[in-house]
Structure 1
Amino acid sequence: MDLGLKGRKAIVCASSRGLGRACALALGQAGVDVVINGLDADRLARTADDIAEKTDVAVTPVAADLDTHEGQAALLAACPEPDILINNNGGPPLRDFRELDREAMLSGVVQNMVTPIELIQKVADNMAERRFGRIVNITSITVRMPLQGLDLSSAARAGLTAFLAGAARPLAEHNVTVNHILPGMFATDRLSGTTEKIARERGISFEEAQRERASAIPARRFGDPDEIGRLCAYLCSAHAGYITGQSILIDGGLFNTTV
């Protein structure tokens, strides 16, 4: 399917690896010039080269911390008028809620709620003036199904979802959509890190912990990041203008619900 995106420009946050990288690659394959971002300049450069080799689009790496005003300014200097914004960011580490002090809680809220809102504030009006904009926020299944140890991540991402529920509606008449993708367990470095922590705490091998986690998913496997990328690209497409304000689970059936 032609997604109708050739020649568009996208900013994809936290895209040197994992789900963000998959989104940047899928958009590049659809003909979108992408600005990618990460903290590790070397890894980011390797990702940019890889995406450029696999697509026929311009790939611009911007090494910056998006939780700072300086980092956001650097990203927008590279792409002042994006047609597409993919908000993605790492979450707070797995930690018991009793261990969270005020500094850690504020940092988590900035990371997973405030930063995406600030970036949307900076690009939404230009999108509306051009009558095309696609904003996709990569959040988490924990917005719907809180997991012990990820309480801060759950709360911050749920706050982002609630905040944007109202903000999305006035943009719809300008062909600007705002949606959320809620991933379950995907084969990423973050999943490996939490699995290692679980294995250590229970005194079992990493492989055993991995098998147990996968067996709890009806699909009996972890997700492939490319599956997120393709969903993201569709939500950004010319065909998805009637989808807005939605939170879309992609979790292999893990969250058991009727709606």
Structure 2
Amino acid sequence: MDLGIKGKNAIICASSRGLGRGCATALAAAGCNIVVNGRDEKTVRQTAQEIRDRFGVTVHEVAADVSSQAGQKALLEACPEPDILVNNNGGPPRRDFRALSRQDMLDGVTQNMVVPLELIQATIDGMAERGFGRIVNITSLSVYMPIGGLDLSSGARAGLTAFLAGVARGFAGKNVTINNLLPGKMDTERLQSGIRYGAEKTGTSYAEQAERQAAEIPAKRFGTPEEFGQACAFLCSTHAGYISGQNLLMDGGLYTSAF
């Protein structure tokens, strides 16, 4: 399927590995020129080169923390007029809410709410002027369904969702869409950390905990960064211009709801 975005310019935050890399790969496959970002310079360089070699698109490398103003500046210097913005960032580590300090909470809200809003502020008017824009925020299933130890991450991401609900409607008429992708149990380092957390709490092995968690999912498996990336690429496509302000769950049916 031709997504109609060949030659578009895309910033994908935290895209040197995991779900962000899945999104960067899918957008490059659709013909987009992309910015690959991550904190580890070696990983960024390796991911960028693999994508260049595979798809022949222009790939800019930005080794920086997207949570910092310097990191955001570097992203925007690498791609001053993005047509596509995929907001992604690591979340706070699993922790009992009673152990969170005020600074912990401020840092978590900055990571998972303030930073994507700042990047949207910096890019959305240009998208509207050019008559095309796609913004996808990677949030979490925990926006809908509590996940033990991720209360801070859940609260910040839910705040981002509520904040942007009205913003999305205000720009839909300019062919600029804002949507959220909510990963469930995807086969990433974040999931592996959660499996270890669950194993420690229950006194089971990692393998037993992984099997138990996969069995709870109607699809009977964990999701992959590759299929997550394809969903992201569709939301960024010309075909998704009538979809805005929505939350797309990718959880294998784990969240039980008719609506």
Interval of TM-score (by shorter of Structure 1 and Structure 2): over 0.9
Aligned twin of 2:234: 234
Q: Give me the whole-angstrom Cα distance separating, in 1, the residues matched to 2:142 and 2:131.
A: 33
Aligned mates of 1:131, 1:146 — CA distance in 2: 38
Amino acid at match of 2:251: D
Structure 2 counterpart of 1:136: 136
TM-score (norm 1): 0.99
Give the Cα separation in 2 of the matches to 1:81 and 1:142: 32
Q: Within the alignment, does 1:73 sit opposite 2:76 as a pair? A: no
- Which aligned pairs between 1:14-29 and structure 2 lie closer than 5 A? 14-29=14-29
Deviates more, 1:197-206 or 1:76-85: 197-206
Query: What does 1:214-233 correspond to in 2, within 5 Å?
Result: 214-233=214-233
Partner of 1:243 in structure 2? Answer: 243
2:104 is paired with a residue whose SS is helix
What is the Cα deviation at residue 115 of structure 1?
0.1
The answer for the alignment partner of 1:120 in structure 2 is 120
**AA in 1 matched with 2:30:** A
Q: Distance in 1 between matches of 2:92 and 2:50?
A: 28
Is this contact kept in 2: 1:188–1:225, CA < 8 A? yes
- 5 Å-filtered alignment, 1:1-259, equals 1-259=1-259
- Quote the RMSD (CA, aligned, Å): 0.7
Instruction: Report the 3-state secondary structure (helix = DSSP H, G, I; strand = E; otherwise coil) of the residue aligned with 2:7.
Output: coil
* Cα offset, 1:200, TM superposition: 2.2
Residue segments in structure 1 that go unaligned for 5+ positions in a row = none
Contact 1:14 1:38 in 2 (8 A): yes
Give SS of 2:196's match. Answer: helix
Please say if residues 29 and 56 of structure 1, whose CA atoms lie closer than 8 Å, have aligned partners that are also in contact: no
What do residues 183-225 of structure 1 show as CA deviations (whole Å, max 9, x unaligned)?
1000001111111122123221110010011111011100011
Which amino acid in structure 1 is aligned with residue 217 of structure 2? Answer: I
Identity of counterpart residues, as a percentage?
Answer: 59
Quick one: distance in 2 between partners of 1:40 and 1:194? 22
8 A Cα contact 1:181 1:247, kept in partner = yes
How far apart are residue 108 of structure 1 and its match? 0.4
* SS of structure 2 residue aligned to 1:16: coil
Whole-angstrom CA distance in 2 between matches of 1:47 and 1:201: 35
65-74 or 238-247, which deviates more: 65-74
